[in-house]
């Protein structure tokens, strides 16, 4: 089994492109693969959480980039308790709305995406206010710090049989295909995959 971790800056179009590429590539890997998105945030920022969380029961909006970042990560982790695949889809769509469509972050936007993806809104709100969600964010940051060792946004491949971790720090579309090529199913046409992934570039 291969665990794929993408340690990312979620308000970056480059990271959005990488997430979409990884989602595509993972479906072509020969071994069973788990894809994990780990959005990054400064640990010091988490210390005073109550000043940064949006009240999801009201149509508030926030404009400070650090506050938006925290709320995006909080939303993702709350959604993740309802299922990792849906949470990844939610994060990518939320990033697309904020970064590509230039929409303002609001609770209404979040609610629309939850309904679109099929995430239970009531459970999401409970998860969002749960200390378990904050603990999960902190756990992610500590795990990222251990793997990344002061590098920028990173992809880590963990192979359970070999008990080995491969870290990628340069992941243009070409580099991603080269890195994953040994693990793809034999029927995958890497040239066609490369062209497909290039369509995600913004």
Contacts of 27 (CB under 8 A, 6+ apart): none
Please classify residue 186 by burial: count the beta carbons closer than 10 Å to its beta carbon, then call 0-12 exposed, 13-18 middle and 19+ buried.
exposed
In this predicted structure, the answer to whether residue 19 has a pLDDT above a threshold of 80 is: yes
For residue 65, the model assigns a pLDDT of 84
- Nearest Cα neighbor of 74 from 52, 93, 89 is 52
Q: In terms of DSSP bridges, do strands 33-39 and 2-8 run parallel, antiparallel, or are they unpaired?
A: parallel
CB-CB neighbours of 77 under 10 Å: 23
* Spatial contact of 19 and 76, defined as CB atoms under 8 Å apart: no
Q: Report residue 53's pLDDT band, with 50, 70 and 90 as the boundaries.
A: low
In this predicted structure, the answer to whether residue 63 has a pLDDT above a threshold of 70 is: no
pLDDT tens digits along 173-196 = 788 888 888 888 888 888 888 888
| Chain mean pLDDT for the chain | 85
CATH 3.40.30.10 residue spans of the chain:
1-40+153-202
For residue 202, the model assigns a pLDDT of 57
Q: What is the fold of 1-40+153-202?
A: Glutaredoxin (3.40.30)
pLDDT tens digits along 164-176 = 788 887 667 788 8
Taking residues 134-161, report their average pLDDT: 82
In this predicted structure, the answer to whether residue 158 has a pLDDT above a threshold of 90 is: no
For residue 165, the model assigns a pLDDT of 82
Q: Report residue 55's pLDDT band, with 50, 70 and 90 as the boundaries.
A: low
Work out the widest C-alpha separation in the chain, in whole angstroms: 51
């Amino acid at each position: 089994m291969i665990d794929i971790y993408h340690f990312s800056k979620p308000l970056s179009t480059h990271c959005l492109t990488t997430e979409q590429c990884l989602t595509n590539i993972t479906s072509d890997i020969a071994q069973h693969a788990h894809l994990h998105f780990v959005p990054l945030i400064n640990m010091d920022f988490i210390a005073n959480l109550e000043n940064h969380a949006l009240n999801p029961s009201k149509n508030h909006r926030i404009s400070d980039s650090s506050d938006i970042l925290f709320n995006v990560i909080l939303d993702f982790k709350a959604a993740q308790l309802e299922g990792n695949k849906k949470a990844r889809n939610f994060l990518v769509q939320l990033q697309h709305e904020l970064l590509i469509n230039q929409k303002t972050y609001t609770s209404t936007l979040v609610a629309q995406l939850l309904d679109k993806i099929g995430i239970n809104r009531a459970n999401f709100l409970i998860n969002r206010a749960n200390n378990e969600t904050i603990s999960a964010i902190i756990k992610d940051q500590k795990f990222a710090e251990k793997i990344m060792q002061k590098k920028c946004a990173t992809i880590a491949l963990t192979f359970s049989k070999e008990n080995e971790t491969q870290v990628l720090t340069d992941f243009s579309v070409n580099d991603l295909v080269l890195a994953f090529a040994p693990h793809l199913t034999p029927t995958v046409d890497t040239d066609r995959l490369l062209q497909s992934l290039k369509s995600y570039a913004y």
